[in-house]
Each structure stands twice: as structure tokens, then as C-alpha cells.
Amino acid sequence: MKSIEKEIHLKTIGITKRFGGLVAVNHVNINVMRKSITLLIGPNGCGKTTLVNTITGIYEPDEGEVYFEGKNITGLPPDRIYREGLVRTFQIPSPFTKLSVLDNLLVAARDHPGEKFRTHLFRRSWIKTEEELINKAFEYLKILGLDKYWDREASELDAGGLKLLEIGRALMSDARMIILDEPIAGVNPRLAHNIFSHIVELRNKLGITFMIIEHRLDIALRYSDYVYAMNRGEIISSGTPDEIIRDEKVRSVYLGEV
Amino acid sequence: MFDVIILFITDLLAFFGIYLMLNTALNIERGYAGIPNFGLLFSYAGGAYITGHLTAKIAILLTGAKVEADPITQPVSALMVLNPILASNPLISITLLIIILLIGASFGALLGLIQLGPAIRLREDYLAITLLALGEVMNYIAIAYKPFINGSLGVQVPDVFSWIGSRYRFYLATGIILLIAFILYIYAEFLGRTPLGRAMKAIRENEIAAVSLGKSLTRYRAIAMIIGSAFTGVAGSLWTLYSGAITPTLQRFDWTFLPWLMIFLGGIGNNLGVALGTFIFVLINRLIIFNKHLLAGVLPFDIVWFDYISLGLIMGLILIYRPQGILPEKPYIPKNIRRKIVVSRSQE
Amino acid sequence: MIETLISGITYSSLLSLMALGITLLYRTTKVPNFAHASFVVFGIYTSYTLALLGYNPYLGTLLGFIVSGIIALILFYALLEPLRRRKSSIFILMMATLTYDILMFGIINIYADYLQTTFKIPARNVYLAPQDFTLIGLKGVTIVSTSLLIVLLMLLYILLNRTIIGAALRAVMENPSLAQANGINVSLMLALSWFLAGGLAGVAGALLPMYMMTDPSTGMLLIAPMFCASILGGLEQIYGAPLGGFILGLATTVLVSWLSGVIGYWIMTYSLMVPYITLIVTLIFIPRGVVSIILKR
Ligand SMILES: Nc1ncnc2c1ncn2[C@@H]1O[C@H](COP(=O)(O)OP(=O)(O)OP(=O)(O)O)[C@@H](O)[C@H]1O
Ligand SMILES: [Mg+2]
């Protein structure tokens, strides 16, 4: 058991992404341990989102490699990476606006027989799965406080609600690792703490690995096991939350600003 | 007078049926999966022309009739042999009809895939360009390749409806068109409520988010296009069978632009809206055409161009003032879940 | 053979002028303009009308530029700008250009019918080549179309790279919201691009009846070659358009005529298919166009 927990879940080797002349991500090496809650911090525009986009197949890296569960996933398309068990959320919420909140979660479900062309006609072959998924979706909606909006169009949610919807979809996907891009931006502090406690709980209960980008360190730090700090496309420091808070480089580029 | 009204209604319903098939197809392609199919004409004409090409040939196989004449280049003499046999034999006629419709559906689906294939991974605008550009090709092929439907002369096809008696032939044809349109409509509505339809809509709403949640763009676009183009092919087949003849003159205006206009009018993504939009449009359109002779000779130009302008203007107004249509799309909420929720709330 | 090559160069020049506008509009407004063929057809009927009135049809290039430019401006101000203000999607904008194409097709047909019934002139087979001049053994249309293409390209280059307006236009292409924030009148710049693109199509249209038999539905035949040339060059690269125009134009004329010698004359019937096949091959293998390959090196 102990040995599994020490296992590296996600590894990047020298990941580099350029936009024209701008090097947005510069030879980044990170290791995310299985069942950890790893925080990625850094000032605005330092390349955090770009790093995640490059890991999850939205962009192809210019250099470097990504390993997930020991498998090289560099350059795979996003849907393949989802199938490997790695799912991410978006910093700018990307809801399916005209679908209901419930449907937004159901879309994220894995291997739904009702989504197959061959079986979709036979309602009996998938309605059971659908009902189970609906129950599961409602559990997550309750955790996120969205259950009373289940039948609304996603476009009716406010900015905070949309962020929560992002998280709900990721949880619904049964992923083994979830990357959350600023999950609590615009969410009130009480709910934010609540969400982080649930993340810890999910990690403990289901063994999901979380990598979380967050600016609100006052909330996020106390829930995390390990922290990477980025600046100008490079990792400048890493360590436990305590170590990071005391790190001179991090203080000068990041905490100093806050 | 009575006959005229019956004739008007039959004609109206036949057009409604054909357009309903096309428009539900378009609704699956664009309304569900977000594919801007500006080349609907391709698979529609494909279905229509393949029917022109094959109906007589298959009729010969089915009936075992001795036909000396080539049914493509000498349709009149071929039909002189075939039509009487079909008229006296409902079973063969119906078998022929079913075979032809299946062929129309498969050919349409194939064409749809060919048309979408090159751009299937690309952005919406590239999809639109490819689909639109290829839309015109079917007519060129039909004109250039004589053995297909006898070049620009076109072909006549055997009558699969005449066994009911020539008096009722058009009623039967219209009835079958309506029946098939109804079946396709029900299927489209069902599809919208399945997880498959939901996945298509997710792709339409947000490609990147859907792909990141494991939905393959290629796969769902291909499925939507296969289903839609199969519908379109069937509509084309029925059009040829209904008209009894086909020439390579099917127009982008009639068979691509008007379907778009109707689904915009009714409400893209909402099948009921689409049906409503189709009915309103076809009714007005047929009324105008029925009374067009009143204007003939008065204007110094062909009145058909007036359609282009007036309908173009109407479309422009819809786009600006009500692009969501008369009945906008609403999220699908299964009733049994709502009931369950209400019950569990009242218990708390 | 030489004759085919010259004819091919003429066709390529005309195609380049049309594709240039499509690419320009795609860069500024981010929308593939499905009404572009209509702009060309207005050019055709401008020079035809001038010829009917007894003027030199080559005056049509100038007047065609203005007429089609205005037709494009109307599309922009009547449909696209209100839609853009409403933050309509690209899809709606595409639908709007398609709608405008239908509308203009109606209008041009009414004009043709009107000429035909009122003045008893054959207005549906517009062919002006017999009135064309020749110079040192070259047809007028060849000389005029190639030199106009070169001159217009140079003017466009100067406009874009050497003037303040051009700088503003390029800023709008790169990042409209940033341009707006910097005080550039984005709407006006877009309008300018529509006028220019419409004008270029009008010039090409004005020359077209000197090259081939045309009629109101010539536009339908041109849609595929125009977009194919534009995509082949690269929709993101303005100067890719003439490159695409020449590759496709020469392929359609020279290559097909060579093939007809080798394979058989029947292949000529299918020369219409060349743009479609080229489009498909381009989209599968180099969706970002030939220029993207050249720039990578
Ligand atoms: N698609 C793109 N094209 C060009 N430049 C980009 C693109 N995406 C990001 N950038 C640039 O790359 C840099 C890194 O951006 P990124 O969004 O990754 O930062 P971030 O760390 O996530 O910032 P924030 O905390 O504000 O979310 C920025 O300078 C940004 O402008
Ligand atoms: Mg970010």
C-alpha cells in the first residue's frame, strides 16, 4: 500500500511550449504523486494553464514528454487522454450552455452504452446505466450545492456556479487523476473550503490524484501535500506547503505581490 | 372546385413530407451535432439520381420482364413494358419501393461521409466551405456522365404507386411520403433524448470541452452525418418516385437554402419547431405558387426570382431579429426524474 | 500547348483576384464569404452593360470595382455589422453571407431578364471575347488580367504595409479587441476590407466575359475554385491566395489539357472536378495551405 502511494502518477520531462517568440512553458519537469493533492502556483501569465493544455492534448508540446501512469501520452488527442484516466477542467468555464446542468454532468460519464451508435436505439440496453449515472450525478450536484438547479440550462448559472459545474463534470468522469484549473475563483470562501474538504475526502476514499492550479493560497495551501511554483514558464521551486511559504524566490515573485 | 382543393392539399402534404425529412436531417446535423451542412443538395440529389438510375433496372430484375430497350436512354419503351406489370402487382411494387428507399438511404449516407470526410477534424468554417463546395458536384457528375441518368435529358422511372389505380396514385404516394417523414421525425426526436444525441449536442456547444471529456469529434460528427444524409437520400429517392422522372437540375436554392430557412424559422435544435417552421413555410409557399398565374405576364421578369429576393430578405430578418426561431431549443428534462425529485423534496 | 499555357495564366490571374478577396475577408472578419461569387457576377454584368452601351468593356474593371465594392459594403452594413454587434456566432455570419448570395442571385437574374425582355438582347450568354483586342499576338484579356493582378497586388501591399490605414487594418486582423482598445475604428476597417474584397471580385468579374462564356449562374461554378484557391494558398495568409490561384488555375487548364492528350479527350468533361479534388486533397494533407509549408522551412 505504502509503495503505491509513493508512485509517480504524472510526470513531465522538459515540456516546452512556444507561441511564436514567446516561450510560455520552458523545460518544465514535474512529478505528481499518486493520491496526492499537488498545487501549481505562480503569477498571472506565467504559463500554468498552458502547461495543463500541453499535458492534456489541447496543444502539442514543442519539446518534451508527458508520462501518465508510466505511459507516454505526449501528443495524444484530448479524448484519448480522457480515456487513459486523466481529466481536466477549464479556467474559463466551458459549459454546454444549452444542456441542463444534469446533462452537463452526464456527458462526462465514461463508456455509456447509450452513446454508441449500435446500441442507442435499444433504450433497454442503456436506461439502467443512465439511471445509475443520474443518481451519481445528483450526489455530486449536492456536494457542489447545484442540485436545486439540476433542470436549468447551464447558461443560467452564475460565474461561481459555472466553476462548480466544471468540477462536477470532472468528478463525474471517474478519472484517476483530475487537474483543476482555478476551481474556486469566484466561489465564496465557505463553499470554497467545503469544496476543498470534499476533494480531500474524494482523494482519501476513491484514491483520486488531484493537481490544482490556484491563486487563493490562503485556502488552497492547507489542503495540499506538495506545491510547484512557476514563474515565466519555468518551475522556480517545489516542496511542501511550509517549505514553499518560506522559499525566498517564491516570496519575491509571488507572495510578495499579494 | 372540390378536386382543385384536394389536389392542392395532396401537393401541399407531399412537399411538406419531403421537406420535413430534409429538415429533420438538417436538424440532426446542425441542430444536434453542429455540422453546418450547406451542401444538403449533394446527398439529396444523390438519392434522387441513383433512384432515377436504378429503379427501372431493379424492376426488370424483380419482374423478370423481357425489356429490349435500355431503360436509361430509351425510358419510354422500357416503361411501356414495366409499368403495366407493376400496376397489376402490388407486392412487387412495394418490394421495389422498399429496395429503392434502402438504396437511397445507403447511397445518401455514403455521399454524406464523402462530403464531410476531408474536413471532419477541422473547424466549423472549413466544414461549411467543404460541404457547400461539394454540394454542387452531383449535378455536374449527372450531366457529364451520360449512363447515370441520361445527361441533361434526365430519365423517367417506373411507377411504384400505380397499382392502387391511377386516380389514387398521388394520394398513395403522398401518404407514403408522410408516413416515412413521420417515422424519421419520431426517430429524430428519440435520438435527441438518447445519450448519443446528448453527446452530439455537447460537441456542438463546446468542441474543446467535449473532446476533453472523451467525446471523439470525428466519431460523433460522422454518426450525425450518416444519419442525416441517409434521411436526405431517402427524401431524394421519394422525390424521384413521386415525380416519376428526374433531370439533373435540382437547385441549391430549393434543396439547401429553403431547408435552412425553414429550420431557422421554426427553431434549430427543436424538432417540433422544425416541423412547425416547415409547415408554415410550405403552406405559404404553395399558396403563392398556386396563385402565381395571376402575376404571369405582368412582370418583365420570371417571378421565380422574386422568391429569391423575398425569401432572402426574410432570412436576413430572421438572422438579425430571431435566430432562435419560433420555438427555441429547450434542454430535455425526463419527466420521471422530475417526479422523483419532487417526491424526495416533499419527504425532506 | 503555348496557347493553353497562356489561357491558363489568364484564368489563374482572374482566380487569384477572387481568392485574394476571400482570404482578405477571412483574415479581417473571420468568416468565409459565400456571397463572393455574386460580387464576381456583378462585375460580369457591369462590363457587359458598358459594352451594350457602346463603351470599351475594359472600363468595366474600374466601374466593376466600384459596383461590386458597393454590393459588398451593403452586405457588410445591412447584415454582418448588425450581427457582429449582437455577438452572433461565425455560423450565423456564414448563414448571412449565404443568404445575401441568394438575394443577389435573384437580383442579377431579374436584371438579365429585364435586359432580355425589354431590349431583346441575349443577356444570359455573356461573351465579349470577339470584341477583345490583340497585342503582339496576345489577347487583351491576358495582358490586362495579369498586369492588373500585379498592379493590384502591389497596391494592396503598399496599402497594408506603408500606410496608417494599412497598419490599422493589420491590427484588426491580428487582434480586433486589442485594436479597438487602441482606438482603431474596427467597424470602419472591416467595411474597408469588404469594399476592397468586393472590388477585387468585381474586377475579376468584369474581365471574365472576355475569357469565357458567362451567365448569372457562373457564380455557382466559381464557388469551388475560388475557395479551393484560397484554402490551397492558406486562409491565414493574404499573399497565399495568388499562389493558390495559380496552382489551381494551371492545374485546371494545362494539366487537364495535357492529360487529355495522354488519357483521352473524355477527361476534359471532368475538368470541372479538378477544384473539388484539389480541395479535398488540400484539406486532408495541408489544411493550412501551401504557404504554411513554405513558412515552416
Ligand atoms: N493560444 C495562445 N496564443 C498565444 N499566446 C498565448 C496563448 N495562450 C497563452 N498565451 C500566452 O502564454 C502566456 C502564459 O499564459 P497562461 O494562460 O498559461 O498563464 P497562466 O499562468 O495560466 O495565467 P493565469 O494565472 O492568468 O491563468 C501568457 O503570456 C499568455 O499571453
Ligand atoms: Mg491560467
Q: Which residues of B287-326 are buried (b: 16+ CB within 10 A; e: fewer)?
A: eeeeeeeeeeeeeebebebbbbbebbeebbebbbeebebb
Q: Is the pLDDT assigned to residue B71 strictly greater than 90?
A: no
Cell 510560455 belongs to residue: A24
Pairing of strands A8-19, B245-246: unpaired
Q: Give tens-digit pLDDT for C142-177.
A: 999 999 999 999 999 999 999 999 999 999 998 888
From atom 17 of ligand 1, which residue's Cα is the shortest distance away?
A: A49
Domain assignment present for B280: no
Q: Are C286 and C271 in contact (CB under 8 A)?
A: no
- Set of cell numbers at residue B136: 454542387
* Residue A191: partners with Cβ closer than 8 Å, 6 or more residues away: A145, A160, A164, A184
Q: Are residues A111 and A5 in the same domain?
A: no
Mean pLDDT to the nearest integer, C254-268: 81
Domain boundary among A172, A199, A220: A172
pLDDT bracket for residue C118 (50, 70, 90): confident
pLDDT band at B346 (very low <50, low <70, confident <90, very high): low
For residue B177, give its domain range: 2-251
Bridge partners, A38 (sequence order): A211, A226
Same domain, A196 and A257: yes
Q: Per-residue pLDDT for B1 more than 50?
A: yes
| pLDDT tens-place string over residues B118-141 | 889 888 999 999 999 999 899 999
Q: What's the average model confidence in pLDDT over A238-257?
A: 80
% pLDDT > 70, chain C: 99
Which residues of A fall within a CB distance of 8 Å from B337?
Answer: 102, 134
> Between B156 and B333, where is the model more confident?
B156
Residue A103: how many CB atoms within 10 A of its CB? 24
Distance A213 CA to ligand 2 centre (A): 8
Closest residue, chain B, to A82 (C-alpha):
B214
Domain assignment present for B202: yes
Distance from CA of C62 to the nearest CA of B (A): 27
Average pLDDT over residues B231-240: 97
The answer on A148 and A106 residing in a single domain is: yes
Put simply, whether C52 touches B (Cβ < 8 Å) is: no
Residue C223 near residue C238 (C-beta atoms within 8 A): no
CA B101, CA B238: separation in Å to the nearest integer? 7
In a domain, B339, yes or no: no
Ligand 1: residues whose CB is within 6 Å?
A 19, 22, 24, 42, 44-50, 91
pLDDT surpasses 80 at C297: no
Q: How many angstroms away from the CA of C30 is the closest CA of chain B? A: 9
Q: Rounded to whole angstroms, how far apart are CA atoms C176 and C189?
A: 10
The least confident of A219-228, B146-155, B336-345 is: B336-345
Q: Residue A15 is part of a domain; what is its CATH number? A: 3.40.50.300
**C-alpha cell, C32:** 468565409
Residue of B nearest to A93 (CA): B209
**Residues in a beta bridge with B155:** B246
A182-220 pLDDT per residue, tens: 998 878 888 889 889 989 988 998 899 999 999 888 889
Closest-CA distance, A126 to chain B, in angstroms, reads 9
Cβ count within 10 A of residue B118: 22
Quick one: closest CA in C to B135, which residue? C224
Look at ligand 1, atom 31, and give the residue with the nearest C-alpha: A45
A27-44: burial string, b at 16+ Cβ within 10 Å, e else: ebebbbbbbbbbbbbbbe
Alpha-helical (H) ranges within C163-250 are 164-174, 176-181, 186-211, 218-233, 240-250
Local structure of C234: helix, strand or coil: coil
User: Which helix (H) or strand (E) segment is A218 a member of?
Assistant: helix A217-220
Contact between chains at A114 and B332 (C-beta distance less than 8 A): no
Residue-range definition of the domain harbouring residue A53:
1-91+178-258
Q: Tell me whether residues B332 and A100 touch, CB distance under 8 A.
A: yes
**Please, do chains A and C touch (3+ CB pairs < 8 Å)?**
no
**Number of domains making up chain B:** 1
Query: How far apart are the CA of C27 and the centre of ligand 2, in A?
Result: 27
Cα–Cα distance for residue pair A53/A56, rounded to 1 Å: 5
Tell whether the model's pLDDT for residue A254 goes beyond 70: no
Task: Say if residue A85 is in the same domain as residue A202.
Answer: yes
What's the gap in Å between C26 CA and the centre of ligand 2? 29
Distance CA A144, CA A195 (A): 7
Q: Are residues A203 and A229 in the same domain?
A: yes
Flag whether B320 is in a domain: no
Q: What is the pLDDT of residue B309?
A: 92
Give the minimum alpha-carbon distance from C220 to chain B in angstroms, rounded to a whole number: 8
* H-helix or E-strand spanning residue B32: none
In angstroms, the Cα distances linking C170 to C16, C160, C189 are 21, 7, 9
DSSP structure class, residue A100 = B
Search chain B and give the residue with CA nearest C31.
B125
Q: Which of A155, A172, A189 is the last residue of a domain?
A: A172
Say if residue A3's pLDDT is above 50: no
Would you say residue B300 lies in a domain?
no
Neighbors of chain A by Cβ distance (3+ pairs < 8 Å): B
Going by beta carbons, is chain A in contact with chain B, meaning 3 or more pairs sit under 8 Å apart? yes
Alpha carbon of A94 to ligand 2 centroid (Å): 14
Q: Which atom of ligand 1 is nearest to the CA of A91?
A: 27
With the C-alpha atoms ordered B332, B335, B337, B341, is the resulting torsion angle positive or negative? positive
User: Does residue A197 sit in the same domain as residue A84?
Assistant: yes
Report residue C133: phi and psi, to 5°.
-95, 165
Residues with Cβ < 8 Å from A37, sequence gap 6 or more?
A: A199, A200, A203, A209, A210, A212, A223, A224, A225, A226
> Taking all residues of chain B, what is their mean pLDDT, rounded to a whole number?
92
Cβ(B88)–Cβ(B163) below 8 Å: yes
Q: Are B127 and B116 a contacting pair, CB within 8 Å?
A: yes
Distance A228 CA to ligand 2 centre (A): 15
Mean pLDDT of C17-28: 96
Question: What residues in C contact B128, CB-CB < 8 Å?
Answer: 32, 34, 91, 94
Q: Which residue of B has its CA nearest to C101?
A: B312
Q: Does the pLDDT of residue C52 top 70, yes or no? A: yes
Note whether A188 and A218 are same-domain residues: yes
Residues of chain B with pLDDT > 90, as a percent, come to: 71
Among B126, B133, B306, beta carbon nearest to C223? B133
Task: Please report which confidence band the pLDDT of residue C260 belongs to, taking 50, 70 and 90 as the band edges.
Answer: confident
Q: What is the pTM of this model?
A: 0.92
CA distance B153 to B74: 11
Q: pLDDT at position B347, please?
A: 67
User: Confidence class of residue A116 from pLDDT cuts 50, 70 and 90?
Assistant: very high
Q: Can you count the helices (H) and strands (E) in chain A?
A: 10, 10
Q: Which ligand is nearest to the CA of A43?
A: 1
Is the pLDDT assigned to residue B340 strictly greater than 80?
no
Task: Give A31-59 as a DSSP string.
Answer: EEETT-EEEEE-STTSSHHHHHHHHTTSS
State chain C's mean pLDDT as an integer: 92
Confidence class of residue A245 from pLDDT cuts 50, 70 and 90? Answer: confident
Listing DSSP states for C155-184 in one string gives HHHHHHHHSHHHHHHHHHHH-HHHHHHTT-
Shared domain check, A137 and A212: no
pLDDT of residue C296: 61
> How far off is chain A from B106, nearest CA to CA, in Å?
16
Q: Is the pLDDT score of C85 beyond 60?
A: yes
3-state secondary structure at position A20: coil
Bigger pLDDT: B239 vs A144? B239
Inter-CA distances, B301 with B199, C102, C111, C153, Å: 49, 17, 8, 39
Instruction: Count CB-CB contacts under 10 A for residue B333.
Output: 14
CA A37 to centroid of ligand 1, rounded, Å: 23
Of the three residues A172, A199, A226, the one that is the final residue of a domain is: A172
With a cut of 70, say whether residue B162 has pLDDT above it: yes
Q: Are strands A37-41 and A209-213 parallel, antiparallel or unpaired?
A: parallel
Contact B118 C99 (CB under 8 A): no
| Residue A2 scores a pLDDT above 50 | no
Instruction: Please tell me the total number of residues recorded for chain B in this structure.
Output: 348
Number of domains in chain A: 2
Determine, yes or no, domain membership for B9. yes
Each residue's pLDDT tens digit, B239-281: 999 999 999 999 989 999 999 999 999 999 999 999 999 999 9
Better pLDDT: A257 or B2: B2
Tens-digit pLDDT profile for residues B183-218: 999 999 999 999 999 999 999 999 999 999 999 999
Q: Say if residue A79 is in the same domain as residue A207.
A: yes
- What's the confidence (pLDDT) of residue A217? 87
Helix (H) or strand (E) holding A93: none
Q: Is B209 close to A96, i.e. CB distance below 8 A?
A: yes
The helix (run of H) or strand (run of E) holding residue B205 is helix B195-205
Q: Let me know if residue B84 belongs to a domain.
A: yes
